[in-house]
Amino acid sequence: MQAQVKASGRGAACRGSTQQHMQSSICLRPLSSQRPFVQSHTPPAQFVRSSAKVSASKLDGLSLFGSSTSSLLGGAPVVEKKVPVKDAVMAVQLQSEAGMDYTDLRNSLAEGDFRKADDETRALLIKLAGEGAKKRDWVYFTEVKDIPAVDLQTIDNLWRAGSNNKFGYSVQKEIWTQQSKRWPKFFKQIDWTTGENNNYRKWPMEFNYSLNASRGHLPLTNALRGTQLFQAIMEHPAFEAKAKKTMDEKAAEAAASTMKLF
């Protein structure tokens, strides 16, 4: 039997000659083409599934602003508790540089009597503005700058606490700034005007003294003589923006730090 070996690129094939109706074929595989033995380091499937399940459970529970963030850091879960409005109002410190008593305003807001609280606020501003305001029974815009910042902040803190941050001078300033300090847009946003001509609502019966009112609707400031008085209140140092991080920004930073652990 004659054998003829013909080499190819990846292997060799042997063809034999035929003798007396017999054919023989021999295939040779070079050693270089054989697959080398590689030791597998793949962990058992059960272990892989278990690890993936644990990681997934941690990531599924991770929330940017939820309670899982602190628990992943080793602390106790953070549970946000809503303080009742009355308790929040009663917790406000009644600070005053002018020796003013804010008890009546606090009690009115604690009881949710926004109509009475608005009247109290107006009376307090007249007293804080000085003797001239007391005699004429209204505040002139140039007198606002002499009102202590601490007193205006106390009034504002009481309003915010009594309305879940819906009412107050600082809330009004925020909206005023968002409306590019344009009075017609601002008054419409806080619902002080009505109709296509944006007519001022009639005081006091057409205003809304409830939490159903638009954000920033209260307290009221007389703008019939012009907006100078209101602008003086909005620009008072008591309501200047402070360079402090908000709670959401702090929570976002904490969550970002936690994500680095994964």
pLDDT tens, residue by residue, 87-131: 999 999 999 999 999 999 999 999 999 999 999 999 999 999 999
What percent of the chain is predicted at pLDDT more than 70? 61
| pTM, 2 dp | 0.64
Please give the pLDDT value at position 50: 43
Could you tell me which residue, 22 or 119, shows the higher pLDDT? Answer: 119
Q: How far is CA 117 from CA 18, 32, 89, 172, 248, in A?
A: 117, 94, 12, 16, 31
Which architecture, in CATH terms, is 85-239? Orthogonal Bundle (1.10)
Mean pLDDT in residue range 226-254:
74
Mean pLDDT in residue range 177-193:
97
Q: Token pair for residue 218?
A: 């209260």
Residue 71: pLDDT band with limits 50, 70, 90 = very low
Collect all residues with Cβ–Cβ distance below 8 Å to 94 and sequence separation of at least 6. Answer: 101, 102, 103, 106, 154
Are residues 249 and 200 in contact, defined by beta-carbon separation less than 8 angstroms? no
Query: Can you spell out the DSSP letters for 215-234?
Result: TT--S----TT-SHHHHHHH
Question: 3-state DSSP call for residue 13?
Answer: strand
Residue 255: pLDDT band with limits 50, 70, 90 = low
Please give the pLDDT value at position 251: 58
Please give the pLDDT value at position 241: 74
Q: Residue 4 phi/psi, 5° resolution?
A: -120, 125
Q: Where are the domains of the chain?
A: 3-31, 85-239
Judged against a pLDDT cut of 70, whether residue 141 lies above it is answered with yes
